[in-house]
Amino acid sequence: MAEEDGFCFSPTKRKIPLFIFFKNVRCMFKLDELGVEIAQIAFPAALALTADPIASLVDTAFIGRIGPIELAAVGVSIALFNQVSRIAIFPLVSVTTSFVAEEDAVAEMSSEGVMLESTLSNDSEAKELILQSNCTESFSKSTNSSSLSENSTPQRRHIPSASSALVIGAILGLIQAIFLISLAKPLLNFMGVKSDSPMLQPAKRYLTLRSLGAPAVLLSLAMQGVFRGFKDTKTPLYATVAGDVTNIILDPIFMFVFRWGVSGAAIAHVISQYLISIILFWRLIHLVDLIPPTLKHLQFSRFLQNGFLLLMRVIAVTFCVTLSASMAARLGPTPMAAFQICLQVWLATSLLADGLAVAGQAILANAFAKNDFERATSTASRVLQLGFALGLFLSFMLGTGLNFAAKLFTTDVNVLRLISIGVPFVALTQPINALAFVFDGINFGASDFAYSALSMVMVAVVSILCLFLLSSFYGFIGIWMALTIYMSLRAFAGFWRIGTGTGPWSFLRK
């Protein structure tokens, strides 16, 4: 085993793509250059992803003090808001991260005098826009050399995708706000809150007020995608923590001091989201020139094409999880309660793997843009190995502790009995889940959006059939069997793409 350029590597050339999963496995936990870079991106990203759920739990605790009706009403409104947001947020953030990382890498190569041919594979439009942007920057430098010599302020980067992401985020945020505010009542009726329900008015009031923050939510997440593309996950973490702390402070003031009730909770949340957006925007304008030279630089077609592919993927994922909850609800309130607790734990642990996925996506997008295939293979193998190790750790923790922790959620004996049945599935699938989520980041980093979307649709079709069949024969256990198949197929799709050396990984067969 040798070390070169801060990376742990094996001098033996591998010609079988499948071997990438075992590449430098003894260096898995080594804090070399690559290990440190992954940690610096993944750890803040994971903290940022967990900050919002923690703030939501505190938010829920305050609302619960008002009364059970208000708590249930807000719960429905939050679920509706999050479902609508997810459809726009996931494609926007994922596409932005990859595009910004690619363009930043190409801009860096251009500034160093490196030839740009063969970079940004299959994306000549983006390459042309970067070249035009760099030419504009060079002309500006040549015509203002005297003023630059007197001003040592670093030149702001020209990243077309950053401007595109902000424009698209603002438009989607406004559309979401108008959609939720104008259709609040029928949407709540669809969610089961009927006209004669005591939950309708507080739910409608909360949803309407919170929807005013939709533009800030979409903008802030678009900017988080930009920072992730720059491999900077600390700035989004600081901004998110500042916003969430503000939300927690304002909640009791608005709800109990001003006596605004659920309206106060919604207003506090909206203020926190705009604060996050302001912090991120203030930082971003010091790094990036957000005013493009021409409208052509906004690359809307490129965003919409790949965003649509990821939209298909989000719908497939959401439908599978929602259908599983629906199947559990048909079994009765006790199975549904047990399923909901197991599902929330099952999904919450994915936030840790998502941190590795973000790191893998940012580093891989940069490496592919530079055609640095050795760095790409090293990064993919390292994050997958770390993801599997993380999954094993989570499997042990949940397997030994979830039965005891379940008593924090409920004291119902029947619910606890069903939870104990679900624990083996929740615990033993953690390595599979972690690999599936990390593969998502790898696919996005390689800009393999088409394969990611189409494979997920195929996985969803098979998983939906399994859900219907297994739940009808085995009930509660059958649902978890189907979810295990679902996550296993997601992980297998990632293994298949890299292991066969197809798509952007064809270089592994050379």
Output the CA angle 450-456-458, nearest 5 degrees: 105
pLDDT for the residue 293: 65
What digits encode the pLDDT tens for the residues 183-213?
999 988 887 788 888 888 998 999 999 999 9
Q: Which residues contact 266 (CB under 8 A, 6 or more apart)?
A: 205, 206, 209, 210
Query: Distance between CA atoms of 417 and 412, rounded to whole angstroms?
Result: 9
d(CA 201, CA 193): 10
pLDDT tens, residue by residue, 201-255:
998 999 999 999 999 999 999 999 999 999 999 999 999 999 999 999 999 999 9
User: Left (φ > 0), alpha (ψ -120 to 50) or beta: where does 89 sit?
Assistant: alpha
In angstroms, rounded to a whole number, what is the distance separating the alpha carbons of residues 428 and 484? 9
Minimum mean pLDDT range among 44-58, 186-200, 207-221, 268-282: 44-58
DSSP letter string over 474-493?
HHHHHHHHHHHHHHHHHHHH
Q: What is the 3-state secondary structure (H, E, C) of 283-299?
A: HHCCCECCCCCCHHHHC
Q: What does residue 3 show for φ and ψ, rounded to 5 degrees?
A: -135, 135
Q: Specify the pLDDT at position 117.
A: 47
Residue pair 335/417 in contact by the 8 Å Cβ criterion:
no
83: left (phi over 0), alpha (psi -120 to 50) or beta: alpha
Enumerate the domain spans of the chain.
Answer: 21-43+308-510, 65-132+156-298
Mean pLDDT of the chain: 83
Q: For 24, how many CA atoms within 13 A lie in the half-sphere containing its CB?
A: 28
Partner residues linked to 290 by β-bridges: none
End-to-end, the C-alpha distance of the chain in Å comes to 23
Instruction: Determine which helix (DSSP H) or strand (DSSP E) holds 418, and give its type and residue range.
Output: helix 413-428
Which band of pLDDT confidence, cut at 50, 70 and 90, is reported for residue 279? very high
- Residue pair 443/481 in contact (Cβ under 8 Å)? The answer is no
